[in-house]
Amino acid sequence: MNQHLLFKAGGQVCGVPINETDKIIALEKVTPIPDVSSYITGLQDVDGDVTAIIDLSDRFYQKPIARIEDSEVIIVNWKERKIGWLVEEVTSVQAYQTEDFIEKDSESVDGLSTTYITSFVQTQEDIIPIIDPHSLFSDEKEEEIRKLLSIAVVKE
């Protein structure tokens, strides 16, 4: 049985393996960064570490979260670091049987890369894409985030 944290991004319910998550926090004192990809909301100090906050609604659908004050941040493991996923809401933790998973056939849908979707889960209400946090960005965008994460927190 595989446990997944379910959340909404762009109105779509998605899942991430729970073992790839660290915690859920509020968006607080985020520092916007100029001239970065639109889905990078900014940087936030999380437990003394600089954490990039990624708006998944903007990343997936090019529509930033409208009510940012009602959103939540899921801290996920990413390339031996941690980043924050800004989502509309965290809905639940669900356990799925292996037979609930639908393997995807290709790496793209209508020419768009979907390498970050590892599989889908069929439920009675929905088909839920399962997101791999390590495959969420192209090499170029990965480098952009790595540079942001290299910024040190200055302690006063």
Exposed / middle / buried, residue 106 (Cβ in 10 Å: 0-12, 13-18, 19+): exposed
In order of their start, the domains of the chain are 2-149 (2.40.50.180)
Q: What pLDDT tens digit does each residue of the chain (156 aa) get?
A: 789 999 999 999 999 999 999 999 999 999 999 999 999 999 999 998 889 999 999 999 999 998 888 899 999 999 989 999 999 999 999 888 777 777 766 554 444 456 888 888 888 888 899 999 999 888 888 999 988 888 765 555
pTM score, whole prediction: 0.87
